[in-house]
């Protein structure tokens, strides 16, 4: 199995190599559309899956990209809704479950890259849905509405402290 998971791949638009062999591309949708400007939009994941309930064992991936839908309101045939997906009524619970699943399938000291556009929901509201604290982030886009945020899953408690191995105090 690849060591990288894209948990909401959509059309794989931000990947330099959208067919990278080391990445497992997952999404809840598989569909194709012709957008209003004539461009094709293809969402073709390697595995159909729901980011709220992933079909993988614990600690399966070294790196996860988590770019869930960020829109609450979009027309059924709007190009934004088709491209990015639309959140449901229980979006807080969905995103909370998504974070929990990402950290469950991420190996200890693995990296989670989270992407969020706060045009309809503030990033602070979304980050409040996980107990994990980000390491760093970056704003991008014309209005700096898109946030790229990096997390690292903590190592197991015994490995972090060394106390279970009789190593005394943890070194700083």
CATH number of the domain to which 142 belongs: 3.40.50.150
**What length is written for the chain?**
172
Is residue 28 one of the residues assigned to a domain?
yes
| pLDDT computed for residue 7 by the predictor | 98
Nearest to 93 by CA among 42, 52, 45, 43: 52
pLDDT-derived band at 158 (thresholds 50, 70, 90) equals very low
Summary mean pLDDT of the chain: 89
Mean of pLDDT values over 145-151: 96
Q: What is the pLDDT of residue 35?
A: 84
Asked whether residue 171 is assigned to any structural domain, the reply reads no
Whether residue 139 contacts residue 123, with contact meaning beta carbons closer than 8 Å, is answered with no
In this predicted structure, what is the pLDDT of residue 90?
96
- The DSSP 8-state label assigned to residue 86 in this structure reads B
Of residues 94 and 75, which shows the higher confidence score? 94
- The answer to whether residue 29 is domain-embedded is yes
Parallel, antiparallel, or unpaired for β 47-48 and 23-27? parallel
Look at residue 170 and tell me if it is in a domain.
no
Looking at the structure of the chain, the number of domains it has is: 1
In a domain, 57, yes or no: yes
Residue 47 has pLDDT above 50, yes or no: yes
The pLDDT of residue 165: 40
Is the pTM for the entire model greater than 0.85?
yes
83-120 tens-digit pLDDT? 888 999 999 999 999 999 999 999 999 999 999 999 99
Question: Which domain does 86 fall in, by range?
Answer: 4-165
The answer to whether residue 129 sits within a structural domain is: yes
């Amino acid at each position: 199995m690849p060591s990288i998971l894209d948990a909401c791949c959509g059309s794989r638009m931000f990947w330099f190599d959208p067919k990278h062999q080391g990445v497992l591309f997952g999404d809840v949708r598989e569909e194709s559309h012709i957008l209003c400007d004539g461009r094709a939009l293809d969402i073709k994941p390697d595995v159909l899956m729901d980011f709220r309930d992933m079909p993988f064992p614990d600690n399966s991936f070294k790196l996860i990209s988590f770019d869930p839908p960020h829109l609450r309101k979009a027309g059924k045939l709007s190009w934004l809704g088709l491209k990015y997906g639309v959140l449901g009524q229980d979006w807080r619970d969905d995103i909370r479950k998504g974070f929990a699943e990402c950290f469950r399938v991420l190996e200890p000291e693995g990296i989670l890259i989270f992407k969020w556009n706060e045009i309809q929901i503030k990033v602070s509201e979304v980050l409040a849905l996980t107990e994990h604290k980000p390491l760093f982030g970056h704003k991008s886009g014309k209005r700096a509405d898109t946030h790229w945020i990096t997390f690292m899953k903590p190592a197991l408690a015994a490995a972090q402290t060394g106390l279970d191995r009789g190593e005394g105090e943890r070194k700083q």
